[in-house]
Chains A and B, each alone.
Chain A
């Protein structure tokens, strides 16, 4: 009779080992910033030293789930903060799959709506999970107990409302013609001396406005998949990143990243890593220095 239960001690042992191993691996007391390889789109996971999870955009499909399961222990099904930089499909579609499998505690986004099918689907899933959107504006700050902070540096509330007003005066009612990218939420992640700027699809206009608030950074998520509208030398001059990560799909039809951007980064001696060539890029920091893991 007991012979059939021989499997249980074995399974208990193995499961115990798995808990031990993953706890060692994922709760190492360091900050992990992972730019996931989601193809043409953005999906960034931040795991704080004490194991809180922050997701900034979720890519164009459910490949973000692979990234989450590779960087979170299997028992951790909570994502403390989700920030959707702007409501475009290549940033939000994966979020629908994420919400089906993970419990999201707080949801932040820009105050712009979209009329696409996938956006409406996301609204449904958010409602089903009892999540309401918190609108991010420059100056908003989320502090975690483990000295991690997320500072929203864009969009500025005043500028944003002016812009919306102008748009309505120009009778742009259809949000698809509105420059959703320009409003894209830009977040500064800091941990001790380590700083990373996560730019979504932000454009030059925004970047030049925020340089003072940002200062010198270590890691830059290159705006808008390396599109040529995304960066200026003024911006690089004042932020001086050591590493630039471009989240981009191989052979995408937009021609991202543009040579202008690549040349500019080279001019400022910034090391470039691209998800289409290097796969997912992981930056690990102890608050003083950082290490990079990529192919």
Chain B
């Protein structure tokens, strides 16, 4: 790394830290017991307990609040809601102080079903695709497919949603941008081994934009796409280092413009997944083989996002890590086959059906594994996820990577 560049990055980092510090310290102070009402967005996948469910919500002024409410109606990650109630401070067992609201009055503004989100142009197109998927695949499988490709949950049965939650793979069908990141990484690697660099980048960008379009241009998905496009294309076009700078700059700009993304799971997921896809495959170089290669993107993304997934998506157990490892590799294949099938449904229906049939073995495998692990449950369940674990995890991961990169230089 050249000196001026290092200095530049250092300065940017300091600027960003300052920006975040000022942003988070000047946020308006809430009083204990204050009653408020506001529009908000569900920040985490709700965890369901015996008699209540709980999740994080965005507060108007940069903060977030921990909400406890009745089990029904069920809420999902990124639902938009309006709620009123009184705000309280709560001291967690690890001495951190959080804002919480118990049983506030909540009404839906918009569900996370992207069918209602996004551009109006997209709607009829998506509806057509949903019909084609439903007519080609059995109910649960088309629901899963729609969940993976578009982030649509409404076509999944309650039982299967529960299974996904218990097995800890709910993030696969959340419109968090993680799927787009994984698929973007996969497409870029795939195309760069087929075509000339420039063509590969061009086609990959088209591919990623196509998925962003299918997912209804949700904000989180657009962010993930931008991040992926910048980082992966600079990797293909230049050296490994360039993509790091590109990713750093993208992250910097996004956080500088909207510091609240710091606690946005979608942002955390796509940023760390991108970073993971760029660097973690280097660790596996020694074992790289024809068979392992295609799984490498998903495994890398998974390694890089593990603590975030553990902390935010349902009841995570040690088994869920195993379950994720077993099923996650199918996601880019399903997304790509599903994406082409979606295109084909406007051109030649039988081709769309055939492509969806091709997904059947993968989908059946996915469902079987998930329901197997959902029955197992886990004996070690992380309830409140300790931030110390995440920190330790990332420090260790960084040390491995840095050590490895240094040795290879």
Contacts and interface: CB of A to CB of B under 8 A. Distances in A.
Interface in A92-108: 100-102
A1 B190 CA distance: 9
Contact of A1 (B194, B333, B358): B194
Given A1-B194, A4-B294, A6-B290, A74 B131 contact: no
A168 interface: no
A contacts with B: majority SS = helix
A77 interface: yes
Contact of B137 (A4, A6, A12, A74): A74
A15 interface: yes
A207 B402 CA distance: 83
Contact of A4 (B131, B190, B364): B190
A18 interface: yes
Interface in B130-155: 131, 134-139
Interface residues of A, number: 22
Interface in B269-294: 290-291, 293-294
Interface string B301-327: 000000000000000000000000000
A77 B360 contact: no
A15 B358 contact: yes
A15 B361 contact: yes
B124 to A, nearest CB: 15
Contacts of B293: 3-4
Contacts, number: 47
B138 A69 contact: yes
Interface string A50-83: 0000000000001001100100001101000000
Interface string A1-45: 101101110111011001000000000000000000000000000
Contacts of A15: 357-358, 360-361
Interface in B120-134: 131, 134
B362 interface: yes
Given A1-B193, A11-B362, A15-B357, A101 B291 contact: no
Interface string B324-336: 0000000001000
Nearest to B159: A66
Contact of B360 (A1, A18, A62, A100): A18
A69 B194 CA distance: 40
A136 B358 CA distance: 41
A100 B138 contact: no
B194 A101 contact: no
Nearest to A62: B139
Nearest to A69: B138
Interface string B39-72: 0000000000000000000000000000000000
A100 B139 contact: no
Interface of B: 131, 134-139, 190, 193-194, 290-291, 293-294, 333, 357-358, 360-362, 364
7 contacts: A6-B294, A15-B358, A15-B360, A15-B361, A74-B357, A100-B131, A101-B134
